[in-house]
Amino acid sequence: MQTVGFGQHDHAACVGGGMKAAEDACEAQGLRLTKGRRRVLEILLQEHRAMGAYDILGMLSDEGFAAQPPVVYRALDFLVANGFAHKIQKLNAYIACAHPGDSHTPVFLICRECETVAETAAPLQSTLGEVAEKIGFKIENTIVEAEGMCPTCRDTETAV
């Protein structure tokens, strides 16, 4: 057991569980969890913190992987697209998903001091403040960005 995020947990189980969840999901959906993708996910799970793409790149490079930026970005794109990892826009960093397999809208609590990131869920039904308070996080600034289709583009799309 060690401190991760803002709480305690069995980290070995968390890494194993994360890999297992990804393997199962890929199996089920016919996705290919190739060597590079697998290794990047392992790194994110092991480190259990938000990492920059070039941090990951450095680790791959140390291990003798072909290590050019596109290698990492492709792996990250795959992991993010399939819900195994998330991008923390505020930090330009990536983190393994804490709830792989579940469909969810992640909410990230980012410490401005140490940049530790905790992933929580479903803020939009309850209030975000309540979620944070439970774990002792003091929110000072929230970033809420919703992406989708604006009315104009929806009209254009259906017209075509």
CA dihedral 122, 126, 128, 133 (to 10 degrees): -110
Cβ-based neighbours of 59, under 8 Å, separated by 6 or more: 43
Residue type, 104: H
What is the token pair recorded at 61?
């490079």
Nearest approach in angstroms of CB 159 to DNA is 26
Cα four-point dihedral sign 53, 89, 116, 6? negative
73 counts as binding DNA under rule CB under 7 A: yes
Nearest approach in angstroms of CB 73 to DNA is 4
Q: Which of 147, 158, 159, 160 binds a second copy (CB under 8 A)?
A: 147
Cβ-based neighbours of 66, under 8 Å, separated by 6 or more: none
Q: Which does 124 bind (CB under 5 to 8 A by kind): DNA, a second copy, none?
A: a second copy
Q: Which does 13 bind (CB under 5 to 8 A by kind): a second copy, DNA, none?
A: none
Sites for a second copy among residues 64-93 (CB under 8 A)? 88-90
Which residues of the shown chain bind a second copy in the complex (CB under 8 A)? 3, 6, 88-90, 105-114, 116, 118, 123-125, 127-129, 132, 135-154, 156-157
